Amino acid sequence: MTSRTHDTAALTALILYVIAVPPGTMTVATALTAVLANQLGGIAPDIDQPTAPLWRNLPVGRYFGRVFGALVGGHRFFCHSILGVGVFGALSLLLLRFLQPIMPNVDIYFVWVAFLTGVVSHLIMDSLTKEGVPWLLPIPYKFGFPPFRRLRVTTGKRVENFIVLPLLITITAWLCASNYTTLAEMIQRHLIT
């Protein structure tokens, strides 16, 4: 899937999570940091390719991207597995704990969940593509949905651009509209400045 589809899927998943598991309290700083973390999580598994946004924005980043990609087995290997999700989770929690002193009004655990929600949404979306995802590494089999490869999406082509992405946008709008009262009350009650 393309990055804009991953971004939209990550946001959709975060909204679904907030509706299903309403947070106890929420600061503006936590909400903004969580959305940022969610969007980073939505593209994080693609760090295994040298054309990833992180590598493109660093001096000699493509070189580091090639080296890192080779270390993790290439695109859609380790970073696109349950093991990869575990490593992303552990490293991001360590980083958030390290940053906690300079972010005293941020609930790092909610931000962490938002990040992991983005990471998992990335794997789910890539499971819809022809290549699939090796969820159960070290078993190298790539799983895809539906099970028949010819029925899956080709990244960046018409089905993604004209069906999957608009469907995600529609689902996000529907979630917000159908849960408007709940979301509005949550914002009024829990959003502490």
142 is a domain residue:
yes
Predicted confidence (pLDDT) per residue in 79-93, tens digit: 999 999 999 999 999
Beta strands 191-192 and 26-27 are parallel
User: To the nearest whole percent, how much of the chain has pLDDT over 90?
Assistant: 70
**Count: domains in the chain:** 1
**Residue among 85, 86, 110, 105 at smallest CA distance from 18:** 110
Average pLDDT over residues 53-77: 83
Q: What's this model's pTM, rounded to 2 decimal places?
A: 0.91
pLDDT at 59: 81
56 is a domain residue:
no
134 is a domain residue:
yes
58 is a domain residue:
no
Using 50, 70 and 90 to split pLDDT, how confident is the model at 192?
low
52 is a domain residue:
no
State yes or no: pLDDT of 193 exceeds 70. no
Using 50, 70 and 90 to split pLDDT, how confident is the model at 55?
confident
Token output for 90: 């552990």
Question: What is the domain range of residue 154?
Answer: 3-45+75-192
State yes or no: pLDDT of 10 exceeds 90. yes
105 is a domain residue:
yes
84 is a domain residue:
yes
Q: Alpha helices of 28-137 — where are they, by DSSP H? A: 28-43, 53-56, 61-71, 82-99, 108-127
State yes or no: pLDDT of 117 exceeds 60. yes
pLDDT at 144: 95
Predicted confidence (pLDDT) per residue in 97-111, tens digit: 999 999 999 999 999
Give the containing element (helix H, strand E) for 12.
Answer: helix 3-20
Q: What share of the chain is helix, strand, coil (3-state, %, to 5)?
A: 70, 5, 25
pLDDT at 190: 66
Token output for 122: 């990335």
Q: Using CA atoms, how far apart are residues 35 and 14, in angstroms rounded to an integer?
A: 8
Which range (22-31, 55-64, 169-178) has the least confidence? 55-64
State yes or no: pLDDT of 30 exceeds 70. yes
